[in-house]
Amino acid sequence: MREIFGGLPWWVKWVAVPVIALVVFGGLIATVVSIIVSLLFKVLVFVALVGGVIYVVRKFTAGSSSRSDW
């Protein structure tokens, strides 16, 4: 790899190659980032809903601890 980029200027290695990679793989990168963000959002919603259910159940069961006929 070093012999390929050996005689090239610095801007080819650090500017041109990353820009070409972003142009070629930009759609794929955007898709992967979108999937990860969507998955994290769904996990956050799931955790919030489960936490809400646990809170509601504990609130109602704590108020009805005298009624043990369930």
Chain segment 10-36, per-residue pLDDT in tens: 999 899 999 999 999 999 999 999 999
**Residue in the block written with tokens 């980032």:** 33
**pLDDT at 47 > cutoff 80:** yes
Q: Residue 56 domain-assigned? A: yes
**Residue 42 resides in a domain:** yes
Q: Is residue 50 part of a domain?
A: yes
**Enclosing domain of residue 18:** 2-62
pLDDT of residue 43: 98
Reference 30, options 38, 20, 18, 40; nearest CA is 38
Task: Tell me the pLDDT of the chain averaged across its residues.
Answer: 89
Residue 39 in any domain: the answer is: yes
Tally of domains within the chain: 1
Amino acid at 64: S
**Residue 9 domain-assigned (yes or no):** yes
**CB–CB of 49/57 below 8 Å?**
no
Q: Is residue 69 part of a domain?
A: no
